[in-house]
Amino acid sequence: MAVVRATGQRPLIVVGTGRCGSTFLHRVLARHEDLAWLSTFNETFPRQPWLSVFSRLYSAPLPTGLKHRRAFPKPFEAYRFWESYLPGFSRRDSPQVPEEIDEAMIEPVRAATGRVIRYQGRKRLLVKVTGWARMTYFHRIYPDARFVFLQRDPRSVVSSWIKAGWLDVTSAPDSPEWQWGEVPEPYLEAWSGLGGGPQLSTALKIRLDLDDIAANSALLDGRVHQLAYETLIRKPEEALGEICRFADLPWSASFARAVASMDFFDSTQTWRKHLSDEEGERILEFMRRTEQVAA
């Protein structure tokens, strides 16, 4: 991995599979007064980082209903922002790797996120990405980055992803509609051996994401903090306190008040509304079989 100088932006980057609860965690951390983040405005206008000045409204004492409106600036993954500076960032058929980043790409994207931080009046950068981990990829640009890996019960992830329906993760891995690249033969055998279908296709996408996160984490020893979504929901102050200590963020009075004001709704059993116990066990069995292969 190429060595580049520290940026001073010290990004805290949240990673995980899709539908793992990362949006919620991202928005909780966005309430920290030291952290700047990309917004829906940066997604729509990726080359206009000055729009981050409006992100200051997110911490203002405004009605919650107003903050949920579509036109209000909210913390966002902002793939169009990253793609604008880093072509290939949104690619689906294979993981992004640091070697594909040309040296000439690094300073422009650093400068852009530096302006986001300044216009928002914060000290550090907060980022969220899901799916392919992009951890060593980000490390190529921000060698002072740290990562929080949020993991969730795969039954909840499968249920939420199928219910959301905005991204095709349910197509069969041997069909032309499959978007997520090559699948190891043992995973295909586990998929077909357990009956296939949309639920297991989604579980397969989860396994590929988890494999990629594990491979990236192995190269970033001591730079990755793992957190279970279930712990975040049930013990929010403890979980967020651990993140702050890991990331060298102060547990400030204002952040403590923000956390105390939030609703940490326990949705850990919501999957039962959409999946039977038998379907849930089939998903877990697929994850067990493929975990043995991955190990």
* Tens-digit pLDDT profile for residues 153-194: 999 999 999 999 889 999 999 999 999 999 999 999 999 999
Same domain, 274 and 130: no
In the predicted structure, residue 92 carries a pLDDT above the cut 70: yes
Residue 122 near residue 33 (C-beta atoms within 8 A): yes
Total Cβ atoms within 10 A of residue 45: 14
Copy the structure tokens of residue 127: 């980022």
Single pTM value for the model: 0.95
Same domain, 100 and 11: yes
The DSSP symbol for 224 reads E
- Please name the residue that has the structure tokens 């500076």: 85
Same domain, 61 and 109: yes
| pLDDT, tens digit (0-9, with 9 covering 90-100), for 239-288 | 999 999 999 999 999 999 999 999 999 999 999 999 999 999 999 999 99
List all residues 6 or more positions away from 246 whose beta carbon is below 8 Å from its beta carbon: 146, 148, 225
Same domain, 45 and 139: yes
**Domain count within the chain:** 2
Same domain, 280 and 168: yes
- Domain extent at residue 237: 1-152+222-264
Query: CA-CA distance, 12 to 183, in Å (whole number)?
Result: 30
Give the residue among 82, 81, 79, 30 at the shortest CA–CA distance from 56.
30
What average pLDDT does the chain have? 95
Predicted pLDDT at 3: 45
In the predicted structure, residue 1 carries a pLDDT above the cut 70: no
Find the Cα–Cα–Cα–Cα dihedral 12, 13, 16, 19, rounded to 10°.
Answer: 90
Query: CA-CA distance, 203 to 155, in Å (whole number)?
Result: 8
Check residues 61 and 237 and name the one with the higher pLDDT.
237
Over pLDDT 70: what percentage of the chain? Answer: 97
